[in-house]
Amino acid sequence: DTEVTQTPKHLVMGMTNKKSLKCEQHMGHRAMYWYKQKAKKPPELMFVYSYEKLSINESVPSRFSPECPNSSLLNLHLHALQPEDSALYLCASSQDTVDDTQYFGPGTRLTVL
Amino acid sequence: AQKVTQAQTEISVVEKEDVTLDCVYETRDTTYYLFWYKQPPSGELVFLIRRNSFDEQNEISGRYSWNFQKSTSSFNFTITASQVVDSAVYFCALSEAETDSWGKFQFGAGTQVVVTP
């Protein structure tokens, strides 16, 4: 059983909707990550929170907004998405960014209509 | 620049055959870590193994074994006596401990393994 949980498992949204993806880890890790994965591609890193400090992939559009309420929780707020944003969104955590063996959640499959 | 190369896009085998997945990496760091992950059709990435650059011992875990060779910058993965449940995409990844940048952790492109009964 994974110790990184993600909700929801599936999400369908329109381009004008606002939704949030949630991630929680129960391993006491201090680094958490959001990845986007398109079909037949490796995961692409979007954001990293390490000790609650944010690092951003500058290619990620502003319609994606991460939030880290505490070291165990990570949210990804979605607003005005485009159909090309449809993908599998994976959350991961690691001890920190030095010991960065990443453990992944089950992912959220997002479809933008 | 691509730092992790998985040249095999897809490998198809019949159950009970052995399958070897190739991974070649590139780094200038002396301290680095190599990983293998499995991604079944359900989508979750499952951590399989991590090796550090100072430990070239091969490792065996059940039907899985890993061969790390610094001389050829390779970290290959073998599944012995494959089973249908091994069907998945397998990713090799590199983490460069001395690189203080966004790109310190990189995945290869992945290899799709298809095991048929």
pLDDT of residue A57: 87
Q: What is the dihedral of CA A67, B95, B80, A3, to 10 degrees?
A: -30
pLDDT of residue B105: 85
Asked if A104 lies within 8 A of B45 by C-beta distance, the reply is: yes
pLDDT of residue B102: 62
Asked if A43 lies within 8 A of B107 by C-beta distance, the reply is: yes
Coil, strand, or helix at residue B72?
helix
Which of A40, A103, A109 faces B47 most closely, judged by CB atoms? Answer: A103
Closest B-chain CA to A54: B102
Average pLDDT over residues A40-47: 94
Which of A55, A88, A109 faces B102 most closely, judged by CB atoms? Answer: A55
Position A1 pLDDT exceeds 90: no
pLDDT of residue B103: 66
Instruction: Please report residues of B whose CB lies closer than 8 A to that of A104.
Output: 37, 44-47
Counts for chain B of helices (H) and strands (E), in that order: 0, 12
Query: Nearest-CA distance from B79 to chain A in Å?
Result: 21
Is A63 or B100 the better-scoring residue by pLDDT? A63
Position B100 pLDDT exceeds 70: no
CB-based contact B4:B111 (threshold 8 Å): no
Instruction: Please report residues of B whose CB lies closer than 8 A to that of A2.
Output: 44
Phi then psi for residue B5, to 5 deg, are -115, 120
> Average model confidence (pLDDT) for chain A?
92
pLDDT of residue A41: 95
Mutant choice from A11, A35, A40 vs B, greatest count of B C-beta within 10 A: A40
Which of B33, B44, B108 faces A42 most closely, judged by CB atoms? Answer: B108
